Amino acid sequence: MTERLTVPVGGASTVLVRQLAAISGELDALLEEMRVETDGYGLLPEQSALLRLISGASVRPAEDVGMSIIGARLVVAVLPPTHARRVLNQPSRDLISVRPAPDHVATLVRGTPQRAGDDRGRRAASQVAAAVMRESGEALVAISAPLLTPDDVAVAYKDATEAAELLSGAGSRPVFVDECWASLATIRLRRQLARALPAGNPLERLREYDAQHGSDFARTLGMWLAKNGDTTATSTALSLHPNTLRYRLRRVGEIAGIDLCDPDVRVLAQLLFRCDV
């Protein structure tokens, strides 16, 4: 951090950019370390440890601060900041609660199994989630899969946060990541799909045609795929006559050249044009 910038003549701009990039990387790492340390100021040792685990930072062995990881679950609530402070202040010797973000409360729920198949963490996490939703009717709540090691905490927090924001509803039951994993993975894949598709692909051509002509071919295709190609079920869902549905599916091939017999095409089309049914 204290090294002077040396800029030799002839390659000044390139060398300067490299040196600035190196300093920037060091500064980012230092700021992140300061943030983690500051976030943990005034907290109990296990709270500081949990914050560090959530951030992906290193931490002393969990047992050193009285944390039990095996079988535990992470309950993440997304709620207004004023409600988050109130929920966070509910003390319990069996729980470790922290506030990784102004509108997030994450609670590590201890649930060490006593025998094979014993999921005490699930029952305890459900009770914590119910208490949070009683405290704040606006909370979106998700519960992670059971943890096995401290390294699981950062991933569990990300999974539960995304599940709460994308799959939970205010006032509804909390969602369990290990039950909604397929839906969560599908949403993540759909977010990445646009960057994975080559330019000028048939699926984009179909969507552009709909936008230009006010047609509904993409949604029709998405519903048909979601219904596993069942013409009757698709027609009912879209309130269409079966012959109208067949006509639309023929037009999909004519407009965009989409080969619905190709399994790869069907998978990508179902992701891109997914319909909630």
Averages of pLDDT over runs of 10 residues in the chain (277 residues) are: 50 64 64 47 78 80 60 90 71 78 90 62 86 86 91 94 88 88 89 84 91 92 91 93 93 88 88 71
Whether residue 131 is found in the same domain as residue 211: no
| Alpha carbons 133 and 153: distance in angstroms, whole number | 23
Whether residue 140 is found in the same domain as residue 213: no
Whether residue 49 is found in the same domain as residue 175: yes
DSSP type of residue 125: H
> For residue 135, what are the domain limits?
45-185
Whether residue 178 is found in the same domain as residue 201: no
Whether residue 259 is found in the same domain as residue 201: yes
Check residue 160 and give its pLDDT.
96
Check residue 16 and give its pLDDT.
67
- Is the alpha carbon torsion for 114, 119, 121, 123 positive or negative? negative
Whether residue 154 is found in the same domain as residue 223: no
What is the tally of structural domains in the chain? 2
Please state, in angstroms and as integers, the Cα–Cα distance from residue 266 to each residue in 83, 97, 225, 260, 275, following that order: 44, 44, 7, 6, 14
Give the residue from 164, 185, 206 where a domain finishes.
185
Give the residue from 146, 165, 185 where a domain finishes.
185
Give the residue from 131, 158, 185 where a domain finishes.
185
In DSSP terms, 100 is beta-bridged to none
